[in-house]
Copies of this chain bind each other. A is one copy, B any other.
Amino acid sequence: MNIPCGAGRGRPRDDAREQAILDAALQLLVEVGYERMSMVAVANLARASKATIYRRWSSKDEMVIEALRRRAPVDNIPADTGSLRDDLVAQVRLMIEAASGPEGALLVGVLRAASESPQLAEVIQTNMRQHKAEMCCCLLERAVKRGDLPESADPGPLVEVIVSMIFMRLLVTGEALDDAFVHHLVDELALPLLAGRAGIPAEPAS
């Protein structure tokens, strides 16, 4: 983690270096993965030196975590399709898209770094909170307005399940995140779950 120096004596740290380093780290992380990314490579790409890196973060893992945390949150723009199911499909596709680009390659490569520090977890959970908010504010709200769901509908468990399923495939089994998966997820898990929680039968897609 960032180690701020106490007094303002001497030459101040150059924030531009910091950003250049994290950018380089992120780029290499995506390109070659966590293991094959070396600190020297990061330093060279950032036109920095290892000392400048280790002055800020105490290890490769810390730096990677920070790089992940800094990355700009993806704008998920859910569209109103008129039906809850299609809204869900669209949303799940957005999430998969976000996770399949550099983001995913990155996570797959870096996950190891998280197993020993709770900080990557925090990053993921922040992300989940964002999705939860989107589900809540948009999709479910619309469905409630349409009368498809009772007012008690809770996006929490839904997001949990969707995110977990995506991570499962992405990180562990490596199965494809294709349309079949999206429909499976929405029709056989998400909608039944909402239905079961609402106390009403689900209406699978025709």
**1/0 per position for A95-131, CB-CB distance to B under 8 A?**
0000000000000110110111010110011000000
Interface hits, A118-160 → B, CB 8 Å: 118, 120-121, 124-125, 157, 160
Residue of B nearest to A105 (CB): B115
Is A189 within 8 A of B193, CB to CB? yes
Judged by DSSP, the binding face of A is helix
Is A188 within 8 A of B157, CB to CB? yes
Interface hits, A154-206 → B, CB 8 Å: 157, 160-161, 163-165, 167-168, 171-175, 188-189, 191-197, 199-202
Alpha-carbon distance between A70 and B170 when the two chains are bound, in angstroms: 24
**1/0 per position for A45-88, CB-CB distance to B under 8 A?**
00000000000000000000000000000000000000000000
Residue of B nearest to A173 (CB): B121
Count the copies: 4
A172 surroundings in chain B (CB, below 8 A) = 111, 114, 120-121, 124, 167, 171
Query: Separation in Å of the A194 CB from the closest CB of chain B?
Result: 7
Q: Does A14 contact B (CB under 8 A)?
A: no
Residue of B nearest to A109 (CB): B115
Residue of B nearest to A174 (CB): B121
Is A165 within 8 A of B160, CB to CB? yes
Query: Separation in Å of the A41 CB from the closest CB of chain B?
Result: 17
Alpha-carbon distance between A96 and B160 when the two chains are bound, in angstroms: 18
Q: Does A35 contact B (CB under 8 A)?
A: yes
Chain A contact residues, CB within 8 Å of chain B: 33-35, 108-109, 111-112, 114-116, 118, 120-121, 124-125, 157, 160-161, 163-165, 167-168, 171-175, 188-189, 191-197, 199-202
